[in-house]
């Protein structure tokens, strides 16, 4: 599955921004922080609508910093994001790649959302916000799996480490395909068209 396919029909989904976000999510899934696995959520694109449907849990650690130091592709910011990922809440990534907010609570509604059993509130928030906006969401599970949501649905899972296959089952239901990009194995729903 390509980054273009992951963006789907979303108007403002920049493939490169989504690619950098997914790469960072995979790094977080692999490395964890301070010797422990952590989970987090990135909501990419349609930032104005996402901000309307969310609020800060704590004072925003990214607030007030210039945009040029908050680009998702900047290696210095990536290390900062890895530290901040230990906090509760989501990161909001603008369509232009600027991480505009951290530690945000997503106002989520389970209405009309169908998720496989075993996925938690972070996944509900991802499904809900992508159903209600033009955003795409990238979830890092504490089980070290990265899941991608678009239009309220789980559309792809990335298992960074092969050994996880023996510990974690794929939650995507129905026809799916597997793709290997570099050392990543991506399992995604097959296009029904």
Q: Assess if residue 131 is contained within a domain.
A: yes
Q: Assess if residue 102 is contained within a domain.
A: yes
Residue 166's pLDDT is: 38
Residue 161's pLDDT is: 65
Instruction: Give the neighbor-by-neighbor strand order of the sheet with 54-56.
Output: 54-56, 99-106, 90-93, 40-44, 136-140, 146-150, 153-159, 184-189, 176-181
The three-class DSSP label of residue 153 is: strand
- Whole-angstrom Cα distance, residue 107 to residue 124? 10
Name the region of 81 (left: φ>0; alpha: ψ -120 to 50; beta: rest): alpha
Mean pLDDT computed over 60-81: 95
Q: Assess if residue 46 is contained within a domain.
A: yes
Residue 134's pLDDT is: 93
Residue 188's pLDDT is: 81
Asked if the model's pLDDT at residue 165 lies above 60, the reply is: no
Number of domains in the chain: 1
> The CATH number of the domain where 71 resides is what?
3.40.1700.10
Q: Assess if residue 41 is contained within a domain.
A: yes
- Sorting pLDDT into bands at 50, 70 and 90, what band is 8? low
User: Taking the mean position of all CA atoms in its chain, how far away is CA 163?
Assistant: 22
Q: Assess if residue 185 is contained within a domain.
A: no
User: Which range marks the domain in which residue 60 is found?
Assistant: 3-157
pLDDT tens digits, residue range 169-189? Answer: 667 777 888 777 666 677 788
Burial 64-80 (b: 16+ CB within 10 A, else e): eeeeeebbbebeebbeb
**Mean pLDDT rounded to a whole number for the chain:** 88
pLDDT tens digits, residue range 80-129? Answer: 999 999 999 999 999 999 999 999 999 999 998 999 888 999 999 999 99
Q: Assess if residue 167 is contained within a domain.
A: no
Task: Report the share of the chain in percent with pLDDT over 70.
Answer: 87
- Whole-angstrom Cα distance, residue 46 to residue 76? 24
Asked if the model's pLDDT at residue 1 lies above 70, the reply is: no
Q: Assess if residue 189 is contained within a domain.
A: no
Residues whose CB is less than 8 angstroms from the CB of residue 153 and which lie 6 or more positions away in sequence, other chains included: 127, 130, 189
Q: How many CB atoms lie within 10 A of CB 63?
A: 10
Is residue 103 within 8 A of residue 60, CB to CB? The reply is yes
Beta bridge partners of 71: 98
Residues whose CB is less than 8 angstroms from the CB of residue 104 and which lie 6 or more positions away in sequence, other chains included: 51, 54, 55, 56, 57, 60, 89, 90, 91, 92
Residue 105's pLDDT is: 97
């Amino acid at each position: 599955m390509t980054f273009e396919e992951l963006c789907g029909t979303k108007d403002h989904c920049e493939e490169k921004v989504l690619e950098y976000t997914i790469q960072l999510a995979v790094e977080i899934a692999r490395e964890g922080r301070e010797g422990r696995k952590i989970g987090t959520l990135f909501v990419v694109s349609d930032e104005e609508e996402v901000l309307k449907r969310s609020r800060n849990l704590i004072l925003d650690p990214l607030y007030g910093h210039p945009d040029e130091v908050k680009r998702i592709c900047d290696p210095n910011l990536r290390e900062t994001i890895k530290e901040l990922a230990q906090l509760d809440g989501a990161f909001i990534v603008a369509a232009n790649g600027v991480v505009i907010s951290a530690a945000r609570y997503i106002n989520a509604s389970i209405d009309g959302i169908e998720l496989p059993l075993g996925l938690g509130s972070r996944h509900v928030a991802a499904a809900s916000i992508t159903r209600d906006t033009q955003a795409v969401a990238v979830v890092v599970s504490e089980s070290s799996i990265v899941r991608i949501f678009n239009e309220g649905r789980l559309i792809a899972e990335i298992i960074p480490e092969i050994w996880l296959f023996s510990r974690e089952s794929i939650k995507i239901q129905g026809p799916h395909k597997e793709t290997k990009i570099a050392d990543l194995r991506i399992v995604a729903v097959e296009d029904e068209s």
